[in-house]
Amino acid sequence: MRASEWAKREGLNVQTVWKWCREGRMPVPFEKTSTGIILIHDPKYERNEAKAPSGRTVCYARVSSGDQKDDLQRQADRLKAFAIGMGVEHPEVVKETGSGMNERRRKLNRLLADPTVGTIIVEHRDRLARMNAGLIESALSAQGRRVVVVDDTELDDDLVRDMTEVLTSFCARLYGRRVAKHKAQAAMKAADDA
């Protein structure tokens, strides 16, 4: 529902709700559309409203590496509890390990391609995709489907870790080539001197 409608139901000023959204202090999940409209996903109202897309509700949990398996299970449990709070009787949970920087995530690709999935619930927007998550949301919305983000605040530590990994990979490639080039030049010089 729109922020103004939620504020009215809660007995709050809409300006206060907008401020909470800007500051990341909303007590319930919300999303900001590409046109700037703030949509509030309050489980106590969404449970009672039949405006949810038809189809299955799937909780999508993702971590970047295999050493985060405990985090993956905790994330999946939180998503399932949230879905039950929204009124979903038997939410499906899909867990995946893979980078959010590329499109090589088979389980997410299957969910996006499956028209029977009406709602995808993720804990953070970056669990869906590191970049251009809004494009995925817009495409699903055009099909009458939606993405519900439980916590719309950014996770800087995880993002910094991923960026560091990307930069390290690029640097290793760059400096590795340079070292190989220098070694080849030294070998050629040694052969010429002999």
**Catalytic positions, please?**
64
Query: In 3-state terms, the chain is what percent helix, strand and coil (to 5)?
Result: 55, 15, 30
**Cα–Cα distances in angstroms (integers) from residue 148 to residues 55, 106, 109, 170, in the given order:** 14, 20, 17, 34
Beta carbons of 162 and 101 less than 8 angstroms apart: yes
* Beta strands at 56-63 and 117-122: parallel, antiparallel or unpaired: parallel
| Rounded Cα distance, 169 and 67, in Å | 19
CA 40 to chain centre: 17
What type of residue sits at position 134? Answer: G
Residue 183 host element (H or E): helix 156-193
| Rounded Cα distance, 179 and 168, in Å | 16
Which of helix, strand or coil describes residue 193? Answer: helix
Q: What is the DSSP string of 104-117?
A: --HHHHHHHH-TTE
